[in-house]
A and B are shown apart, each in its own frame.
Chain A
């Protein structure tokens, strides 16, 4: 079984530019989550999809962040325009429906905004 894959693994962009992160969840996993870890701080929840619908986007920092999940398969997270404080590691995770199903994480995308 293929795991959760994220692309790119690293991205370095300048302030004001746009970046799009992609996540391919495990096939059949309806739940898809985005998390972010800023250097030295905790892993923070950004949003949760159930299939193609946004179940909870309470963690999205501001309207510069846009997440989509086309057809309930892969997901993208776009940051436009990027700011310095957006730097960090963005993790995607997926899980089956059902209470406390474990999350399967991708290796993350390390975003550096200069």
Chain B
């Protein structure tokens, strides 16, 4: 079965520092991978997705993620954190033969002034 594991339910970084949110996936076939963000009292919003076209995927708001098959990872990064990045981030995977998306447990990102 497909699954994703997000390391760290809470991550704190200083404003201007590098953001790194970790995600590892489990899949027997090349998956489709996503990062979603949820701001308070809002629905989930797609940040970026990997669909096998390129291993480095750029998303909105300066975020990017790199697909590393050898490490089964899809970590999310941003060079310089802004206060507005404070939110909860979800890594997700779509099984190859199914449109159902499976989410990780989420990582809440805190930005320190």
Chain A positions near chain B (C-beta within 8 angstroms): 3-4, 31, 33, 35, 41-45, 48, 55-56, 91, 93, 95, 99-108
- With both chains docked as a complex, state the minimum distance between the C-beta of A22 and any C-beta of chain B, in angstroms: 15
B99's contact among A42, A48, A105, by CB below 8 Å, is which? A48
B44 near A105 with CB under 8 A, answer yes
> Which residue of B94, B101, B106 has the most chain A CB atoms within 10 A of its CB atom?
B101
Closest 5 CB pairs of A and B: A105-B43, A100-B32, A43-B103, A105-B44, A42-B105
Inter-chain CA distance A24–B44, complex, in Å, is 16
B43's contact among A4, A33, A56, by CB below 8 Å, is which? A4
Chain B positions near chain A (C-beta within 8 angstroms): 32, 34, 36, 41-46, 49, 51, 90, 94, 98-106
B42's contact among A43, A99, A100, A107, by CB below 8 Å, is which? A107
> Which residue of A35, A99, A100 has the most chain B CB atoms within 10 A of its CB atom?
A100
- With both chains docked as a complex, state the minimum distance between the C-beta of A103 and any C-beta of chain B, in angstroms: 6
Extra 11 A-B pairs, beta carbons < 8 Å, given A48-B100, A93-B43: A42-B105, A43-B106, A91-B44, A99-B94, A99-B99, A100-B49, A100-B51, A100-B94, A102-B46, A105-B43, A106-B43
Inter-chain CA distance A44–B92, complex, in Å, is 11
- With both chains docked as a complex, state the minimum distance between the C-beta of A87 and any C-beta of chain B, in angstroms: 17
CB contacts (< 8 Å) of A4 on chain B: these are 43
A45 near B102 with CB under 8 A, answer yes
CB contacts (< 8 Å) of B106 on chain A: these are 42-43
Inter-chain CA distance A55–B98, complex, in Å, is 10
B101 near A103 with CB under 8 A, answer yes
